Structure 1
Amino acid sequence: MEERLKNSTHDLGKSSPRVNWQVWWRLLRPHTLTAGFVPVLVGTMLALPYGELDLSVFAAMMVASLLIQSATNMFNEYYDFKRGLDTAESVGIGGAIVREGISARTVLNLAISFFGIAVLLGIYICMNSSWWIGLIGALSMAVGYYYTGGPYPIAYTPFGELAAGLFMGLILILISFFIQSGTVTAESILVSVPVSILVGGILMANNIRDLTGDKEKGRKTLAILLGHKKAVLFLAGMFIVSYLWIIGLVLAGYASSWLLLVFISLPKAMKAYKLFVGKTKAVQMVPAMKATAQMHTIFGFLLSVGLLFNYLF
């Protein structure tokens, strides 16, 4: 099968008419990019009271984060193809390799190139903050690669949500906060928690959708261990804890009541949950997965607005 695909593949410079910008855009899996830009925005808004923002560092951090998230998606596409997990009928993949005829090597090289650019941006960020950021950034990139790469992919274990929430939530927010403020505070850590939970929620939604197929392929994700109904309830619990956490921060005096703006996103969370209930086929759950990612985006944006308003008023 792989040999037949190789004979019909095209590199970047030899694309067929079908291979247009939409193919490359889908390869990025844009619904997941919220995990790249929301934490950077939240961390930067947290740093507002600590002095004037360095916009060039902010821009470098934002682009580097999006490149790492995109590269992680490409590594996912590449290694799932190499292991025979992706087919033309697979739901939720970019499909550049199995549907559009892009060579697997091109996808891999593009992912490596994105990592390379992110490293260069990381050097600039370190020059304007601390070289310790480089070590943490390298660790985050390694997690992105080993999510589906290497002999023991994180994606095959129950720890995918934890890894995503930790490195694309908490750590990313704290890096974004530190490079602007030069410190890490209790407030920055506590405010990072609900965003981290919701980053994990994006992955949980993805794994719920892919539960049947992943189980057949030998994966042991958290969704598989819980089963469909309990996994959907677990996702709902992640939503609930995120909202309650904000209430707790406000009541405890760690955050301004402006952060309660996040509750405007509650209808989207309820919609995501309802779209999962009673569904059995992967294609039926695509809208629920997208709603989960949208909920993370709206929640994170409103949280950032709340932090901005707290600073301004």
Structure 2
Amino acid sequence: MDSITSIKNELNEKSGFQIWWRLLRPHTLTASVIPVFVGTMFALTGHEINLLLFLAMLLASILIQAATNMFNEYYDFVRGLDNEQSVGIGGTIVRDGISPITVLGMAFTFFGVAILLGVYICIASSWWIAAIGLICMLFGYLYTGGPLPIAYTPFGELFSGFFMGTVIIGISYYIQTATLTSTVIWLSIPIAIFIGAIMMSNNIRDLDGDKENGRKTVAILLGRKNAVRFLAAMFMSAYFLTAIYIVAGVLPVWSVLAFLSIIKATDVIKKFRGKTKPLEMMPAMAATGKTNTLYGLLLGVSLLASYLF
């Protein structure tokens, strides 16, 4: 059995449609779905919402996230960071033989469709959204593209949390209400932290390989043990803020439901402890995405419940 077949078996990678599905890196798409859902539910608590605008925003956000993942796949391959043994990537180029140009072309196509959806959103709301959307797409590209990729610096978690969390929540709220309040910005912070945590867990898993290739991520600067502790602190700060918002009456009492996701957050830390190999840390990485999903869904449901009851 050759090395490519062996790693594909270990990762349970299948051929056919699964190749293109993996290219999207579906476990990361929670970072695009949850902010739109939460931002829209915030809007619903005080306004009627436009379902078509919600769906357009949701699809555009998913496309931008998927395109960002494809740029990551392409540029990490071009720079020699990925090989057939790399864990956590789609593997479409290094293991499935898909042309790098095909991957790059799909990324730009996804951006193009997102722009068309953005035009509809702007027509229905404000053309200021176009400028903000283009900035988000630019930083999505610059995350791994450009002369100094953000992913190679200590600011990956900060940028991903801000743009995919705070900015997307703000846009999702604004297109439904034609206004933006400081409350929405404050309430977006826990989601931004959870999205940053997805990037953090990814960097913990890839720490050794990233270090060899000259990256300077937070995980590398802290070291693996301290990085896991920092990840735990991120989780705790998000829950602490949620508790403050509930006590202050900014979030409804229903939002205590979001604390059920602590079970999954705790599971993330347990799965990271004592692990040093990327393949061993894949369950922890997946659990981080699930923590964001569970927290965001429960928070959104709590806002919906406060509207209904």
Which letter does structure 1 place at the counterpart of 2:72? N
Provide the rounded CA distance (Å) in 1 between the counterparts of 2:138 and 2:290.
26
SS in 1 for 2:169: helix
Q: Which stretches in structure 1 are left out of the alignment for 5+ residues? A: 1-17
1:51 CA displacement: 2.5
Residues 202 and 293 in structure 1, CA contact (< 8 A), matched pair in contact too: yes
Provide the rounded CA distance (Å) in 2 between the counterparts of 1:181 and 1:158.
35
Provide the rounded CA distance (Å) in 1 between the counterparts of 2:103 and 2:16.
15
Partner of 1:44: 40
SS in 2 for 1:119: helix
Percent identity between the aligned chains? 58
Provide the rounded CA distance (Å) in 2 between the counterparts of 1:188 and 1:259.
15
Partner of 2:294: 298
Provide the rounded CA distance (Å) in 2 between the counterparts of 1:270 and 1:309.
26
SS in 2 for 1:78: helix
1:78-89 aligned within 5 A: 78-89=74-85
* TM-score for both structures, normalised by structure 1: 0.93
1:191 CA displacement: 1.3
1:175 CA displacement: 0.2
Partner of 1:272: 268
Partner of 2:199: 203
Which letter does structure 2 place at the counterpart of 1:191? L
Partner of 1:73: 69
1:203-242 aligned within 5 A: 203-242=199-238
Partner of 2:4: none
* TM-score for both structures, normalised by structure 2: 0.95
1:49 CA displacement: 2.9
Partner of 2:177: 181
Residues 187 and 255 in structure 1, CA contact (< 8 A), matched pair in contact too: no
Please list the CA deviations of residues 220-270 of structure 1 after superposition, one character each: whole Å capped at 9, or x if unmatched: 001000100110000000100111111000111211111111111111000
Q: Which stretches in structure 2 are left out of the alignment for 5+ residues? A: 1-13
Provide the rounded CA distance (Å) in 2 between the counterparts of 1:207 and 1:231.
9
1:19 CA displacement: 4.9
Does structure 1 residue 126 correspond to structure 2 residue 122? yes
Does structure 1 residue 157 correspond to structure 2 residue 158? no
Residues 265 and 295 in structure 1, CA contact (< 8 A), matched pair in contact too: yes
Residues 162 and 200 in structure 1, CA contact (< 8 A), matched pair in contact too: yes
Provide the rounded CA distance (Å) in 2 between the counterparts of 1:154 and 1:187.
29
Provide the rounded CA distance (Å) in 1 between the counterparts of 2:247 and 2:52.
35
Residues 96 and 102 in structure 1, CA contact (< 8 A), matched pair in contact too: yes
